[in-house]
Amino acid sequence: MDPVPTIAEAARGIASRRLSPVELTRACLDRIARIDPSLHSFLLVSEERALADARAAEARIMRDGPRGPLDGIPIAHKDLFDTAGIRTTGHSRLLADNVPARDAAVVARLAEAGTVLLGKVAAHEFAMGGHSFDLPWPQPNNPWDLERTTAGSSSGTAAAVAAGLVLGGTGTETAGSINGPAALCGITGLKPTYGRVSRTGILPLAFTLDHAGPMAWTAEDCAILLQAMAGHDTSDPASSCEPVPDFGVDLDRGVRGLRVEVVRHFFEADNPASEATRMGIEDALAWFAREGAEVREVRLSPLETYSACTFVVLLAEAYAIHEPWLTTRREEYGEIFRDRASLGGLIRARDYVQALRRRRELCLEMAGAMANLHLLVNASQAGEAPPSTGLSKWSFFERPALTTPSALTGFPSVSVCTGFGAGALPVAMQLIARPFHEATLLRAAHGYKRAHPWRDKRPPMAR
């Protein structure tokens, strides 16, 4: 399997019977065995299950043809997603022996689409524990430089996709956990609109902020995954009844006619980004303009307001979820999660309510800004991946998080690699669209990728 195929490429090979799902799965398992001992992206490799899934897919495809583009495609799930009969830990000692009886709704949907389950991938502890060194399993390294962090919390999915161990996977985002690691690992990560994808069976962090979404090498692959993941679920109270469109139908339309506005103050003043990040965004804006999009600049509330609002809501809701264990099994958490989550117990009711009210104002601001607009452009992260050691426990308090405007308001966003900066590490831009307009994000991201062939470059360890 060299080079590593995208989901779309593999699907075409499988449909034409030039590529065997069993051979593809074996190739992924071989790559995991060869590469993951230094990458640490997998917490559990479900080899028997994967081969059984692949054989079943192959027999089905030979008999009836593929169910769709995900039939026979190897994927992995962030270890916050329940998998029936397969350990689901939240990357925490507290759930080290937890074996769910049922699949998460998204896991079931992806299985029904024919995917092959390669295993469960690493995360930050309960999606908020940062790059911790005191957990039962290590944190993933960044495949572009093993001494660097992937960011999180969907760290294992991002590392495994970038290294070509898996063709795609699932992530969750509460304040930036899809966009952040996608940016630092140079892959595509899509945080759908709040309510677009069910969270049933996913370990929660903050009820009113949690999203689930796809992570893959390309926007086209994210479209394929999202197609299977999206849709109403009566067991998730926040699940939307909004119809699910065909996310692939507009991929090749290009960006002509799109109205795009860049929020420069977010990444130039509020949280100044690295030179390579800013240059990547400016080059992308120039490409949008050349291709016929209308590009302008917009000002929104300071990034700090979005970030402060996000973290007050997040910490209060996370504490409400974790209080029973924080008060009785405190020492079983890693230090970073424990210290962060404890603060939620000190947030007063009036401050939580004030954050909810401020969120409503910020949602209205965002909706107003995007009323006649297709895309907002922001940075996904402030720069290239930092070293894994020496990271501040309170970094998200010290500098406002660029991912929070989309995470807080529930507007969909996608992280797109825009090139390489210091140390040949990836940098990225973040595109934000109106609610339920993921197709516009995917169309723009796909057009940008097709126009930039260097985007096919994988980390050296994956080649």
Partner 1 sequence: MDFPPDEVRFAAMLAESGMRVPPEQLPSPLEGYCHMLRLIAALGAPATFEAEPALTFTPDRR
Residues of this chain that bind partner 1 (CB under 8 A): 193-195, 208, 237-238, 240, 304-305, 307-309, 311-312, 315, 323, 326-327, 330, 335, 339-340, 342-343, 345-348, 351, 353-361, 363-364, 367, 393-394, 397-398, 409-411, 434-435
Min dist. Cβ of residue 413 to partner 1 (A): 12
Q: Dig out the tokens for 42 from the structure.
A: 């997998």
Q: Which is nearer to partner 1, 61 or 442 (CB)?
A: 442
Instruction: For partner 1, give the closer residue by CB, 133 or 394.
Output: 394
Residue closest to 341 by CA, chosen among 211, 207, 206, 210: 206
CA 196 to chain centre: 14
Q: If DSSP states are collapsed to H, E and C, what string results for the chain?
A: CCCCCCHHHHHHHHHCCCCCHHHHHHHHHHHHHHHHHHHCCEEEECHHHHHHHHHHHHHHHHHHCCCCCCCCCEEEEECCECECCECCCCCCHHHCCCCCCCCCHHHHHHHHCCCEEEEEECCCHHHCCCCCCCCCCCCCCECCECCECCCCCCHHHHHHHHCCCCCEEEEEECCCCCHHHHHHHCCEEEECCCCCECCCCECCCCCCCCEEEEEECCHHHHHHHHHHHECCCCCCCCCCCCCCCCCCCCHHHCCCCCEEEECHHHHHHHCCCCHHHHHHHHHHHHHHHHCCCEEEECCCCCHHHHHHHHHHHHHHHHHHHHHHHHHHCHHHCCHHHHHHHHHHHHCCHHHHHHHHHHHHHHHHHHHHHCCCCCEEEEECCCCCCCECCCCCCCHHHHCCCCCHHHHHHCCCEEEEEEEECHHHCEEEEEEECCCCCHHHHHHHHHHHHHHCHHHHCCCHHHC
- Of 412, 387, 382, 185, which Cα lies nearest the Cα of 281? 382
Mention every residue, 6+ apart, whose C-beta is less than 8 A from residue 49: 86, 117
Of 180 and 195, the one with the shorter C-beta distance to partner 1 is: 195
In the complex with partner 1, the residue whose CB is nearer, 4 or 376, is 376
**Residue 35 or 433: which CB sits closer to partner 1?**
433
Instruction: Note whether 127 and 172 are within 8 A (CB).
Output: yes
Are the beta carbons of 255 and 293 closer than 8 angstroms? yes
* Residue placing its CB nearer to partner 1 in the complex, 48 or 331: 331
The CB-of-338 to partner 1 minimum distance in angstroms stands at 8
Nearer to partner 1, 25 or 342 (CB): 342
Smallest separation, CB 356 to partner 1 (Å): 4
Q: Are strands 168-173 and 211-216 parallel, antiparallel or unpaired?
A: antiparallel
39 vs 408 by CB, closer to partner 1: 408
Residues annotated as catalytic are 78, 153, 177
Q: How far is the CB of 272 from partner 1 (least distance, A)?
A: 18
Which of 88/310 has CB closer to partner 1? 310
